[in-house]
C-alpha cells in the first residue's frame, strides 16, 4: 500500500521528535562533562539533525520498489530495516550519518571541505570530534526513536480497531497478512490479535536492543531534584520578570505601595523613588538571578541519581503494552 505525502511527513517528524528528546539529554550530559562546548553544541546538533532529515526523506531501492527511509523505519519489514543499518548493504544509511575518514573516501577527499566533519574542522579543529560524537549518537538512537514513534502509531491503530466497526473492505485488506484463503471469514478477533502481535513485536525489538546495548551507548540521565535551588531561582526570576513587565507597561509616578516597597529595598525615602529607579532595580535583580541560575544548572549537586534513560522507557513501553492488551481482551475472548 502506498503512503501519502502527509503520512510520510508525519513519519519523519515523529521520528525526529523522539530523537530530539534523546539528543537533549545527551547534550546535557556532554555539557556537564565539558562546559566549554555549551556555546557550539546547539549549532552542531542542528546541522547534523538537518542532514539526518534529508536522509530520512531519501529513497532506497528494493527491487522495483523505491521506499523512503522514514517509512521503512516505521514499517513492518524487518529485512528492509536491517539493511538500513548494515555496514555492507547498498541501502545502508550508516555512512550517510557517520562521515568516513578522508582516507576511505577516494577522490572526493581531495576537496578540503566535503562533509560535516571537515566543515566544522575548518572552523575549529576541535569541533571535528564533537561532530563525530553527535553522528554516533544519531546512529545509536535512530532505531529506538523510530520504534518509539512506531509504537505510538500501532497503539493508535489498535485503539481505532477497538472503537470502530470493521468494514468488509477493511477485513479484505488483512486477508494476505493473515494467510486466509479466499472466502474464509476474517473476524474482529483475527484482526485485533494480529495488530496486538505487531505491537508486541515492536516492544520486543526495543527489549533486544537494551540487552545488546554497550555501556558507552547508554543515555545517562539525571533529573533535577524537586525543590532544587535552580527551581526556586526560576520561580523568583518569574516573579521579578512579572513585576518588571508591569513597571515598563505603565508611565508616570509610581503608586504609593510601590514607592514604599522600593524605598525599603534601596534605603531611601518614598518621595525619592522614581519609576526608572524601580525598573533599574528589577533589571539588576534579574541579571543576578540569571547568573545564579546558570551556576545552579551546571552544578550536579542539584540533580538526582544517574539512571539509564532507555531502560526506564522500556518499562514505560511494557506498561503501555499491558494496558493495551487488557483493553483488547474483550475482543480476543
pLDDT digits (tens, 9 = 90+) for 140-186: 999 999 999 999 999 999 999 999 999 999 999 999 999 999 989 99
CB 44 within 8 A of CB 135: no
Question: Could you tell me if 20 and 99 lie in one domain?
Answer: yes
pLDDT, residue 222, reads: 82
Determine the Cα–Cα distance for residues 27 and 17; give it in Å rounded to an integer. 15
C-alpha grid cell for residue 180?
486466509
Q: Rounded to the nearest 5°, which phi and psi values hold at 307? A: -150, 160
Burial pattern 202-229, b for ≥16 Cβ within 10 A else e, equals: bbebbeebeeebeeeebbebbeeeeebb
Per DSSP, 167 falls in state P
pLDDT the model gives residue 2: 39
DSSP strands (E only) in 145-291 = 220-221
118/184 same-domain check: yes
Task: Give me the pLDDT at residue 3, please.
Answer: 41
Cell of 260: 514604599
Query: Which pLDDT does position 124 carry in this prediction?
Result: 86
- Which range of residues forms the domain containing residue 255? 229-302
Cell of 122: 575548518
Could you tell me if 136 and 24 lie in one domain?
yes
Q: In this structure, are 167 and 295 located in the same domain?
A: no
pLDDT tens, position by position, 252-302? 888 888 888 888 888 888 888 888 888 999 999 999 888 887 776 666 556
pTM of the entire predicted model: 0.75
Q: Are residues 148 and 13 part of one domain?
A: yes
Residues of the chain whose pLDDT is less than 50? 1-5
Domain count, the chain: 2
Looking at the structure, do residues 326 and 181 belong to the same domain, yes or no?
Answer: yes
Amino acid at each position: 500500500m502506498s503512503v501519502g505525502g502527509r503520512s510520510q511527513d508525519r513519519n519523519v517528524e515523529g521520528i525526529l521528535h523522539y530523537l530530539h528528546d534523546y539528543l537533549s539529554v545527551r547534550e546535557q550530559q556532554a555539557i556537564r562533562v565539558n562546559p566549554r562546548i555549551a556555546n557550539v553544541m546547539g549549532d552542531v546538533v542542528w546541522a547534523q539533525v538537518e542532514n539526518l532529515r534529508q536522509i530520512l526523506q531519501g529513497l532506497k531501492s528494493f527491487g522495483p520498489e523505491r521506499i523512503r527511509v522514514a517509512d521503512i523505519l516505521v514499517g513492518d519489514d524487518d529485512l528492509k530495516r536491517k539493511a538500513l543499518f548494515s555496514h555492507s548493504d547498498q541501502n545502508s544509511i550508516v555512512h550517510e550519518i557517520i562521515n568516513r575518514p578522508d582516507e576511505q573516501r577516494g577522490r572526493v577527499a581531495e576537496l578540503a571541505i566535503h562533509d560535516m566533519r571537515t566543515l566544522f574542522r575548518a572552523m575549529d579543529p576541535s569541533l571535528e570530534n564533537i561532530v563525530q560524537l553527535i553522528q554516533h549518537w544519531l546512529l545509536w538512537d535512530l532505531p529506538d526513536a523510530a520504534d518509539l514513534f512506531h509504537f505510538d502509531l500501532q497503539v493508535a491503530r489498535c485503539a481505532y480497531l477497538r472503537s470502530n466497526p470493521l468494514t468488509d473492505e477493511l477485513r479484505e485488506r488483512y486477508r494476505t497478512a493473515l494467510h486466509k484463503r479466499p472466502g474464509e471469514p476474517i473476524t474482529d478477533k483475527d484482526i485485533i490479535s494480529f495488530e496486538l502481535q505487531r505491537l508486541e513485536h515492536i516492544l520486543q525489538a526495543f527489549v533486544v536492543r537494551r540487552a545488546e546495548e554497550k555501556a558507552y551507548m547508554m543515555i545517562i540521565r539525571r533529573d533535577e531534584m524537586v525543590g532544587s535551588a535552580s527551581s526556586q531561582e526560576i520561580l523568583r526570576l518569574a516573579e521579578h520578570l512579572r513585576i518588571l513587565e508591569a513597571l515598563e507597561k505603565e508611565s508616570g509616578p509610581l503608586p504609593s505601595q510601590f514607592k514604599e516597597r522600593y524605598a525599603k529595598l534601596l534605603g531611601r525615602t518614598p518621595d525619592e523613588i522614581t519609576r526608572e529607579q524601580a525598573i533599574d532595580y528589577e533589571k539588576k535583580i534579574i541579571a543576578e538571578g540569571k547568573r545564579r541560575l546558570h551556576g545552579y544548572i551546571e552544578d550536579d549537586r542539584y540533580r538526582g541519581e544517574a539512571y539509564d534513560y532507555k531502560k526506564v522507557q522500556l518499562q514505560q513501553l511494557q506498561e503501555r503494552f499491558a494496558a493495551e492488551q487488557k483493553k483488547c481482551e474483550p475482543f480476543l475472548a
